[in-house]
Amino acid sequence: MSGGCSTLLSQGLLGSSRQCMAQEASSVVADSITIIDNRTGNQLEIPIERGGIAASEWQKLLPGVWFYDPGLTATAVCDSSITYLDGDNGILRYRGYPIEQLAEHSTYLEVAYLLLHGELPTAAQFDTWRHEVTYHTYIHENVRKRFLEGFHYDAHPMGMLVSAVAALSTFYLDAKQIFDPESRRKQIIRLIAKMPTLAAAAHRFSVGMPFVYPDNSLDFCSNFLSMMWKVAEPRFDANPVLARALDILFILHADHEQNCSTTAMRVVGSSHADPYSACAAACAALYGPRHGGANEAVIRMLTEIGSVERVPDFIRSVKEGTGGRLQGFGHRVYKSYDPRAKIIKRTADEVFAITGKNPLLDIALKLEEIALSDEYFTSRKLYPNVDFYSGLIYQAMGFPLEMFPVLFAIPRTAGWLAHWQELLDQDSKIVRPRQLYSGPEARDYVPIDRR
């Protein structure tokens, strides 16, 4: 080899045999990288499999040399067959099915089945699935009376949800049997079914309204809306357009491969904790404003901007670094338009036709228009993400801002459980990363009167 590649290799930096050899001797392409260990002079050839290097191979050849990757930005933590995401081309598929087709033709319950079982259900399988989920929506009276009602009157509904999900593990002791297929199936159904009930109960409590029991004659989303909004009427009939819009939002949020909360689910699941405890950890990860709280930040930003006329000034302040970030724009993985944002934009029009236009919509549209034609945003590949429009829909439907992460947690439960199940089926190792220690050297204890 000559030139750039050999220089890199002789400096002990990573060189890709595939790239170097393709450049310099296009006849041979090896799926490996070659590393020279400058400490020993050894040249090591490490195989690349499906675009990655297995840590086991790495450790065999270079024991004690760790990757330093705090945000796991360059580390594949698992092998998964659930969701495919191509951020450069704006592609998202669940089990191979394009998100656009699922949003148009499917329902959240069917998508949950797909994520968990790998295939779309037959009509008979779906009937059984729907029946089982519908008949597990009730929560134990003590979850509500003794647990949820014990919270302070102004408790945040997401804090209540995180705790309530964890508390379920104390009600279903069989959940510890994670390798018993029947027990596992039962906990999955319970979690999918009870999340809307817990979510609505948390909301009702936080606004001082009485709990509404599930209505088993309603579909998944209509039942949730009934538990949220029912007052004195014998039966709450949700507007079908709004129920369908919510269903679409649930489909779009059902999974997103190795995001922060799914990683939390996998990490806790890898210790063989029960699924309620693992799911509570995932909910807690979702609570953070960097993850499940971004759509709330969008609404706050739009409210603060206040009018379409002020949009250019706001954009200027973002570019100058004084106005913070343009919330709902940019994504770690998507470097083109988030496919979910496109679908949500269409759904927003349908919702606003019923609820009346969210007054913040015009500001959002102006922001998008200016940002998409501004070199600052286009050169950094910053496009609207799923959160840019979802908050506008939730707000128009009457959900308070505090419920936004809760609304995210309900459908993401299907994704979390699909990953949890996959992890157990793969008999994955417990997650236990390494660290680079930078603390003090060994030193002797000094008694308190001599410090």
- 314 sits near ligand ACO (criterion: CB under 6 A): no
Q: What is the number of the residue whose Cβ is closest to ligand ACO?
A: 330
- 383 sits near ligand ACO (criterion: CB under 6 A): no
Among 137, 385, 395, 413, binds ligand ACO (CB under 6 A): 385
The residue range among 17-25, 138-146, 358-366, 379-387 that interacts with ligand ACO, by the rule CB under 6 A, is: 379-387
Q: What is the DSSP letter of 49?
A: B
Nearest distance from C-beta of residue 361 to ligand ACO, angstroms: 17
Nearest distance from C-beta of residue 176 to ligand ACO, angstroms: 32
Residue 140 annotated in active site: no
Cα end-to-end distance, the chain, whole Å: 61
Burial of 327-358, coded b for 16+ CB within 10 Å and e otherwise, reads: bbbbbeebbeebbbbbbbbebbeebbeebeeb
Element holding 36 (H helix, E strand): strand 32-37
How far, CA to CA in Å, does 268 sit from each of 110, 166, 272, 273? 27, 12, 7, 6
Residue 387 annotated in active site: yes
- 384 sits near ligand ACO (criterion: CB under 6 A): no
Q: What angle do CA 195, 220, 345 make, to 5 degrees?
A: 95
CA distance 242 to 375: 37
Residues 88-147 that bind ligand ACO (CB under 6 A): none
- 263 sits near ligand ACO (criterion: CB under 6 A): no
Residue 419 annotated in active site: no
CB–CB of 229/398 below 8 Å? yes
Choosing from 253, 256, 331, 419, which is the catalytic residue? 331
Choosing from 156, 291, 362, 374, which is the catalytic residue? 291
The conformational region for residue 37 under phi > 0 = left, psi -120 to 50 = alpha, else beta, is beta
Among 113, 276, 329, 383, binds ligand ACO (CB under 6 A): 329
CB-nearer residue toward ligand ACO: 15 or 328: 328
- 244 sits near ligand ACO (criterion: CB under 6 A): no
Among 227, 315, 386, 406, binds ligand ACO (CB under 6 A): 386
CA distance 154 to 151: 8
Residue with structure tokens 């779906």?
Answer: 126
- 332 sits near ligand ACO (criterion: CB under 6 A): yes
| Helices and strands: H and E segment counts in the chain | 20, 6
Nearest distance from C-beta of residue 384 to ligand ACO, angstroms: 9
The size of the interface with ligand ACO (CB under 6 A), counted in residues, is 16
Which string of DSSP letters, residue by residue, matches 198-226?
Answer: HHHHHHHHHTTPPP----TTS-HHHHHHH
Nearest distance from C-beta of residue 41 to ligand ACO, angstroms: 37
Binding stretches for ligand ACO (CB under 6 A) = 291, 294, 318, 325-332, 380, 382, 385-387
